[in-house]
Every structure is written in C-alpha cells, then in structure tokens.
Amino acid sequence: MAYTAKIGPSILSSDLSQLGRECERMMECGADYLHLDVMDGHFVPNLTFGHPMVECLRRCIGPDPFFDMHMMVSRPEQWVKPMAAAGANQYTFHLEATANPGNLIKEIRESGMKVGLAIKPGTTVEELAPWARQIDMALVMTVEPGFGGQKFMEDMMPKVSWLRSQFPSLDIEVDGGVGPDSIHRCAEAGANMIVSGSAVVSSDDPRSVIALLKNVVIEAIQKRSLDR
C-alpha cells in the first residue's frame, strides 16, 4: 500500500491579491501540496489564471511546494510545456477534454511532470479505468467543476471506492465541498489526496483543520491496511 494521506488547500479560495503569501501560509499550516485551479472560460464557465501566475508563484515561494495543476481547460495539450516550464509538478487534465488521453499522458511525463486524470460527476469511473495504470493520480470531482463553495456530492463516493478496490496503490484525490463535515465519507471510500478550499483557507485556524482532515485519512488508511 504505497499511498499516504495528503492535504492540498485550493488556493483559489484565498486572498488573490496576496497569493504568494497565502501559499506560504498554507504550507506553514501543514499543507502537503497546493492545488491550483486553471479555468479557461470554455471547458468551464469561469476564468482564473495561467502559467505566468504559476511562474510568479514558483519564483516567490521557492522550489519546495508541490503544485498540483487542475487543468479545467478545453485544450489541455496546449498548456503542458508552458506549465512545466513555469514550475508545475503535476498536470491534472480532464478526461472529457481530450480525444487522446494516451498521447497526453506521454507528453506530460516527457515534460517531467506527474500525471493526474480528472473526471466530472457525470463521467463514469469505468471510462477512467483504462488509463489508471498509466497515471499517478485520479481525481474524482465531488462538485461540478468551475466554481467554489458548492455542496459536496456524496453520491460520487462509490467511484472512489471502486477505484481503491481495483487500483489499491493509486493516489485518489477528491475535490469539491470537502471539509470536516464530509472528510469521513471521503476517507472511508478510499481517497488519500484531499483538496479543500474555503474549509481550510477561510478558517480562523487552518492548521487545526488541515490536521483534522489528515488524521481522518491516516486512520482510514491504517484501518484498510489492517482489514486486508
């Protein structure tokens, strides 16, 4: 069982005028990685930032924080090299956005980044399955991508459970409406990488929230290990 518990605050929920400082604050509070949401106004209706912002952040906060790029874009192939050059560590693209996932996975690897593959709530987990052994992480969206502050979709948990049963060592990430109220369901289903936006970033005590989320996931991993 190679996977570990990791908590990645979604920096889109932070004060965007102080983004570098906010990233540093999250890492100081115990974050394992940073989740950066890239939206192009096409694949999803919202618009955020691109590789120039990532390059600035990398320069500002140094080489250590792991940048997980959630690419909610209609042409993910277009941004692989620019994101790699900007300092991204993992390139998570949407299965729904490409006709040739295999080529894109290869291109991301050749650019020196880890590979994440995301699915929207309406996409079945069986559609992701053929690529699961070629990727580093599967992302199961627990809201419709594009906007923060949505309600957690508990009916996505069977996807996580199925992935964990079929691919026991795969990193499985959940993103959308995840916080102290929903973390137990995510952890029990088998998610080990937890994206949390406002529940962490807007908290009066982010350190405590990150620790709580992580401890729940660690306990679930330990229990699964004992049950095997």
pLDDT value at residue 167 = 97
pLDDT value at residue 146 = 85
Q: Which residues are annotated as a binding site for substrate?
A: 10, 70, 146-149, 177, 197-198
Helices (H), 77-191: 80-86, 101-110, 125-128, 157-166, 183-189
Catalytic one among 37, 40, 68, 171? 37
pLDDT value at residue 82 = 98
Annotation marks residue 175 as catalytic: yes
Distance CA 185, CA 105 (A): 30
- Asked whether the beta carbons of 89 and 29 are under 8 A apart, the reply is no
pLDDT value at residue 147 = 74
pLDDT value at residue 72 = 98
Q: What DSSP character marks residue 217?
A: H
Q: Decide the pairing of beta strands 114-119 and 90-94.
A: parallel
Which one-letter amino acid corresponds to residue 186?
Answer: C
pLDDT value at residue 228 = 74
Annotation marks residue 155 as catalytic: no
Distance CA 89, CA 200 (A): 22
End-to-end CA distance of the chain: 10
Q: Which residues are annotated as a binding site for a divalent metal cation?
A: 35, 37, 70, 175
| Stretches in the chain below the pLDDT threshold 70 | 1
pLDDT value at residue 1 = 57
